[in-house]
Each structure stands twice: as structure tokens, then as C-alpha cells.
Amino acid sequence: MELKQKGSSANVGSFKQLMVTMKWTTAADFDLAAAYEDKSGKKGLVYFGELGDLNAFPHMQLSGDEGVGDKGGNNEEIMRITKLDDMKYVWILCWDYGKVQEGSPARFKDSDVSLTVTDDKGISHKVTLDTGDLGNVALIATIDNTSPIGAKLINASKAGTLKGLKTLQQLIDIIEG
């Protein structure tokens, strides 16, 4: 299922593993990350500096960092999620590393960056990033796990601009802004 428009959603349901794959060939250093809020209100971040852990909290892990130095080619970063039980929200983010350092607009609009969320049963949801010329940090999708009927994947397509990324709160401000 393709979630093309901001606000479009799909039920994720129960799963053993959820794989979030971000791909691009554009010469840009895009970084995949997941900010989260657990049911106790604790917030955290899985990104290239803190890859996470599949077997312990937060039950998310990033594959690594691709496209470093604005390298083009078949770039791919994968975030695996094995458990959502303790989570209220997982926010899937992407930022243009060099542009965040400079405080200038990202190259999302001119790129072929794509995000696909696939469960262990092979059901895939492609989320189209549509932020226009705005920002250098994009909230691509939200996994909302607050409903008793199960988690929902929502196309968020929201952007913000940072000059330097030093704290999780900077990302939370974009998410909640």
C-alpha cells in the first residue's frame, strides 16, 4: 500500500519484525533515525551515533550510516523494530546531514529518497516524502501505538530547519511543532 499524502495511514498490526528501509541514489548524506516516546513518557533516539538494540529496550536498531560525504549510488539504511509493546509513538525521521550543519535547506525535493515499511509477513507500505523545499529535517512517518486495536503507520510529511543538531529536544520540537 502506498501512503502518498500527508495524513494517509495504514494499520501495522502485530508483527515479529518491522523493517523500515530508506533508499536513495542522489549524492546526499541523508540519515535515517527514529525518535520514540515510551508509555512512561521517556523519549529517546536511534540514529547513526546510537544504533540501538533489537534484544533490549528500545527494541530498534539501525543498520549504519550510508552516503557519508554526499556519496551517490545505491544508498540504503535500514531500521529494524522488533517490539512496540512499550512504545506510544515512534517517529521516523530523515535529515540531510551536511545541510543540518550549515542550517540550509535540504535536497529532499531534488532527490529520489524513498521509505518502505515492511512487516515479517511481507506486507509493505511505501511512504512518499512530500515536504517541498522546506527544511533540512523531515518527519516522514509516525507509528502511533496508542490505540487498543493496534499500531498505525501515518504519513507525516513534516519538515523543520536546524542549524546543528545537538539535542533530542530539537527534533521533538519539529515533531510537535
- Domains in the chain, ordered, with CATH? 2-176 (2.60.60.30)
Q: What is the pLDDT of residue 67?
A: 62
- At 71, the pLDDT band (50, 70, 90 cuts) reads confident
pLDDT attached to residue 145: 95
pLDDT of 68 reads 66
Q: Using H for helix, E for strand and C for coil, what is the string for the chain?
A: CEECCCCCEEECCCCCCEEEEEEECCCCCEEEEEEEEECCCCEEEEECCECEECCCCCCEEECCCCCCCCCCCCEEEEEEECCCCCEEEEEEEEEEHHHHHHCCCCCCCCCCCEEEEEECCCCEEEECCCCCCCCCEEEEEEEECCCCCCCEEEEEEEEECCCCCCCHHHHHHHHHC
Tell me if the pTM is above 0.75.
Answer: yes
Question: What is the average pLDDT across 131-135?
Answer: 71
Query: Over pLDDT 90: what percentage of the chain?
Result: 58
Work out the mean pLDDT of the chain and round it to a whole number: 89
Q: Which comes out higher in pLDDT, residue 90 or 1?
A: 90
* Least confident window among 9-23, 52-66, 122-136: 122-136
Q: What is the mean pLDDT of residues 34-62?
A: 95
What is the structure's pLDDT at 59? 96
Question: Taking 70 as the threshold, does the pLDDT of residue 69 lie above it?
Answer: no
Q: Do residues 112 and 25 make contact, with C-beta atoms less than 8 angstroms apart?
A: yes
Q: Is the pLDDT of residue 129 over 80?
A: no
- pLDDT, average across residues 111-129: 88
Q: What is the pLDDT of residue 141?
A: 93
